[in-house]
Every structure is written in structure tokens, then in C-alpha cells.
């Protein structure tokens, strides 16, 4: 009897050969078991390429599921908190889904082809949950995590890169998607808040599309990037990340680590009027009793990144902590996402302070800096929404 070889350790993704050739740092991180670049060259170069040129990031380790069949829309409407009926054909929606207690399991993007054909793209493995969610519905769930590869092409020149690669997506509005060539899907989506696209192709032979874009990108400043640069950009855009800004409740081992969409500041994503969805009754109760926590965007005083800092009210009472904090090179501000215990962040929003520890060449210093709650993302640029986009 022969036993199939099971690879040990991290395994290469579909674009690994290309990334390996570009990696000066050999800085690899574990993303869902795949070798994923943390940094290829320097995080700063890569970050500024997102905001000034164009960048390629391999998002193949994302989990991807295909949902097909007559009940697809109904099944997904019961799964996620927002109304799937309001996502048009050929559109993409940001979605969240909860457990029965209203705690967030994961968030992701839902790609709608028709009411009977969807793709769900997310961070956490979700196949068994989707199978449970599909019981009683006439749908088929296919795990495409290892058969569909994804590339995120982000940055002001990304449209121009695609154009020179012979891919015309001029008419694609934000959150549109379509099959531009046989087996080549493009969506105008991303995790940077900038102009950008995500490109979906079959896993086998995925390097063809990489090479085609890479060649077209030479004159447009295209760079390959790693996770660190993306982390800066996504925080500027105000996007939350699983495992950092919320703990996916199925993966959390401790009690009471789950958070509801309302507590993450996404109350508008919970459509109570669309019929039953998972966790609806629990969330309805929370709408009445109020959230226990609130995830907020913070403008932090000073320039030292506030990652992990505790938040105080009147410098005395501990009321929360920073879940992600960076210096934003584009906004030139010290920005963060922080979780505050209600009523802080809900009704009490002033006199808040972050306690930041800095190591100054071997000596630790503590700084209490004022923080201000912000409503809007820290980075917003019209080019992200322009249709047709220009050669920014």
C-alpha cells in the first residue's frame, strides 16, 4: 500500500516561483498554510507603490467557495447579515456572518453572478459551516480554495496596467465583476481603499496571468508586495482584519471573545427587515440592550504606532485597547482601530487616552497620548471610485 505524500510545513502557492525570484528579504509568513511574503523588498517601497503606482499581491490563500443551485440566494440570505437580494447580478458585496449568538464568524466578499450562482471569499476555512448552512436548501457548495487562484492588483495605475495587458475593464464600477476572458474573472475590489482590481483564474497555469500583468506593468511602476505593506494600506482604508480586530468566533477558544457586527461598528450591515438570518434573534436583542463593546477608528496623538496600547478614560480608567495601530504615511497621522468597552465608544467618546510604550535605545518610556474617535476612513481618494478610471 502506498501512502500519498503529505507536505510538511508551509507549501508554495500558485505564484510562488515568481515571488521567490522577487524576494530580497526571504521574509515569508504563514497564511493558511501557504508561504506568503511578509515583505519582498522593503515594506516602505511596497506601501508607496500601493498609493502611487500599482502592486500585485497573491491572495490565493483566501478561502473560496462556490454556491450554486436554485436556493443559493435564500441560503446565503440566511447565512449573512445583509440582504443578498440587494446585491445585483455581476456585483460584489462585503458580507458578515454570525453564529446563533450573533457573534461574527468571519467577514468576506460575496460575488454574485446570478441568484443561483455565487462565490464567497473569506479568511477562515468555512466549508463545513457552509455545508451545515446549506442543509435544507437546494444548493451545491464547492470548495474552490485550492482550485481558484487570486491576484490583487491595487494602486492608481492598476487600471492602466490591465489595459496594457489587453484587459479592458473601463466600464467596471466599484464592486462590479465579470468574466473578461474565458476563465479570467476580474472584480473591482480590494483591501486598500484605492483604485484596484482582483483577478481570479484557475489555480493550474495561474502564472500565465501573472506574467501577462507583470510585463504590462513595467512602465506603470508595478511592484509585487507582501503583507506588511497591505496591513498599512488596509488600516488607512479602515478595513478590519480577522484575528486582529475581531476574533473569528469559531476559532476562539475562550468564552466571550466573540463580537457582534454591531460591536464592530457594522450595525448598518445588519438588515433586520430581510427575514431570518443566523443570529438575528440574538442581534435583535442586542439592538435593544445595546452593544457590550465598540470597535472605533482612532486618531492617536504623537507618531509612535499604538499597536497593543491600552486605552484609558481620563488617563485613569482602562476602557479598551488598540487592536491595530500604525503610522499612516499618506495621511501623515498616527491611526488605529481600538476596541472600547461600552458605553465608551458608544455614548462616551471624549477624554480618551492611549498608553504607548516606546523603547528608546534600551530605555522604555511610557507616553499617554490623547486619542480622538473618527467616523471616516483615514484614506479616501476619488480615484478609487472614478469610472472609467484614469491613468492616475
Partner 1 sequence: MSTDFDAIVIGAGHNGLVAAGELARAGKRVCVVERADVPGGMARNVTSGDGVTAPQIAHLLYNLAPDISRTLGVETRSLPTIGLSPDGRHVLLQAGDLRFADGEAHPEAAVFAVLHDRLTRFAALLGQLSDAPPPKLMEGLAGALSGLRDIGGLAKLGLNLKRMGKAEMREFLRILLSNSYDVLLDELNDGPVAGVLAADAVRGAWSGPRSPGSVFSLIYRLGQGGDVRLPMGGMGAVMAALEKSAVDSGAALRYGSGVASVDIEGDRVTGVTLEDGSKVRGRAVLSSLGAAQTMLLAGPSHYDIETVRRLRNVRSKGTVGKLNLVLKAVPDIPGLTDAQRGARLVVAPSASYVEAAFNPVKYGELSAEPVLEVIIPTLTDPSLCDDGRHVMSVNCQFLPHVPKDGWTEAARGTAQNRIMATLGHYMPGLADHVLQAELLTPADIETLTGAPGGHWHHAELSIDQLLTVRPVNGLSRYAFGVQGYYLCGASAHPGGDVTGQPGRNAARQLLRDGVLS
Contacting positions for partner 1 (CB under 8 A): 74-75, 77-79, 99-100, 129, 132-133, 135-137, 275-276, 278-281
- Write the CA distances from 351 to 344, 370, 374, integer angstroms: 10, 7, 14
To the nearest whole angstrom, how small is the minimum distance from the Cβ of residue 374 to partner 1?
A: 34
Nearer CB in complex with partner 1: 93/279: 279
CB 36 within 8 A of CB 114: no
Nearer CB in complex with partner 1: 292/367: 292
Q: Is 389 exposed, middle or buried (0-12, 13-18, 19+ CB in 10 A)?
A: buried
CB 239 within 8 A of CB 264: no
Say how far apart CA 83 and CA 121 lie, in whole Å: 17
Nearer CB in complex with partner 1: 137/266: 137
Contacts of 192 (CB under 8 A, 6+ apart): 50, 154, 155, 230, 233, 234, 236, 237
To the nearest whole angstrom, how small is the minimum distance from the Cβ of residue 278 to partner 1?
A: 5
Nearer CB in complex with partner 1: 291/325: 291
To the nearest whole angstrom, how small is the minimum distance from the Cβ of residue 273 to partner 1?
A: 8
Nearer CB in complex with partner 1: 129/378: 129
Say how far apart CA 298 and CA 78 lie, in whole Å: 33
Say how far apart CA 136 and CA 134 lie, in whole Å: 6
To the nearest whole angstrom, how small is the minimum distance from the Cβ of residue 243 to partner 1?
A: 22
> To which residue does cell 453564529 refer?
99
Say how far apart CA 81 and CA 100 lie, in whole Å: 12
To the nearest whole angstrom, how small is the minimum distance from the Cβ of residue 89 to partner 1?
A: 22
Nearer CB in complex with partner 1: 272/303: 272
To the nearest whole angstrom, how small is the minimum distance from the Cβ of residue 122 to partner 1?
A: 16
Nearer CB in complex with partner 1: 88/136: 136
Q: In the chain, where does DSSP find H-type helix?
A: 16-22, 43-52, 72-79, 127-134, 158-164, 207-217, 227-236, 280-289
To the nearest whole angstrom, how small is the minimum distance from the Cβ of residue 341 to partner 1?
A: 18
Amino acid at each position: 500500500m502506498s501512502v500519498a505524500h503529505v507536505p510538511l510545513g508551509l507549501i508554495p502557492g500558485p505564484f510562488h516561483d515568481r515571488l521567490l525570484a522577487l524576494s530580497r528579504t526571504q521574509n515569508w509568513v504563514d497564511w493558511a498554510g501557504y508561504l506568503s511574503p511578509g515583505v519582498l523588498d522593503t515594506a516602505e517601497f511596497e506601501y508607496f507603490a500601493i498609493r502611487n503606482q500599482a502592486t500585485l499581491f497573491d491572495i490565493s490563500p483566501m478561502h473560496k467557495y462556490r454556491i450554486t443551485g436554485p436556493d443559493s440566494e435564500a441560503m446565503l440570505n440566511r447565512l449573512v447579515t445583509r440582504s443578498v437580494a440587494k446585491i445585483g447580478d455581476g456585483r460584489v458585496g462585503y458580507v458578515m456572518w454570525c453564529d446563533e449568538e450573533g457573534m461574527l464568524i468571519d467577514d468576506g466578499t460575496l460575488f454574485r453572478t446570478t441568484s443561483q450562482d455565487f462565490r464567497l471569499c473569506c479568511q477562515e476555512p468555512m466549508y463545513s459551516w457552509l455545508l451545515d448552512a446549506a442543509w435544507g436548501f437546494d444548493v451545491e457548495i464547492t470548495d474552490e480554495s485550492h482550485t481558484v487562484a487570486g491576484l490583487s492588483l491595487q494602486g492608481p495605475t492598476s487600471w492602466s496596467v490591465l489595459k496594457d495587458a489587453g484587459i479592458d475593464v473601463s466600464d467596471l464600477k466599484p464592486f462590479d465583476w465579470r468574466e473578461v476572458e474565458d476563465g479570467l474573472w476580474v472584480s473591482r475590489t480590494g483591501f486598500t481603499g484605492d483604485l484596484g482590481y482582483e483577478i481570479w483564474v484557475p489555480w493550474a497555469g495561474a502564472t500565465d496571468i501573472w506574467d501577462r500583468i507583470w510585463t504590462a506593468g513595467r512602465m506603470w511602476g508595478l511592484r509585487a508586495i507582501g503583507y506588511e505593506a497591505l496591513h498599512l494600506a488596509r488600516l488607512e482604508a479602515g478595513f478590519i482584519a480577522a484575528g486582529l480586530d475581531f476574533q473569528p468566533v469559531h476559532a476562539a477558544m475562550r468564552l466571550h471573545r466573540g463580537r457582534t457586527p454591531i460591536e464592530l461598528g457594522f450595525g448598518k450591515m445588519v438588515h433586520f427587515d430581510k427575514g431570518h438570518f443566523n443570529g438575528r434573534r440574538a442581534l435583535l436583542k442586542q439592538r435593544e440592550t445595546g452593544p457590550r463593546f465598540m470597535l472605533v477608528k482612532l486618531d492617536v496623538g504623537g507618531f509612535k504606532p499604538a499597536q497593543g496600547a491600552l486605552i484609558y478614560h481620563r488617563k485613569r480608567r482602562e476602557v479598551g485597547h488598540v487592536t491595530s495601530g500604525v503610522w499612516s504615511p499618506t495621511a501623515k497621522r498616527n491611526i488605529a482601530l481600538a476596541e472600547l468597552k461600552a458605553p465608551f465608544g458608544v455614548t462616551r467618546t471624549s477624554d480618551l487616552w492611549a498608553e504607548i510604550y516606546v523603547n528608546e535605545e534600551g530605555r522604555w518610556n511610557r507616553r499617554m497620548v490623547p486619542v480622538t474617535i473618527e467616523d471616516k476612513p483615514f484614506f479616501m481618494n476619488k480615484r478609487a471610485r472614478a469610472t472609467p478610471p484614469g491613468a492616475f
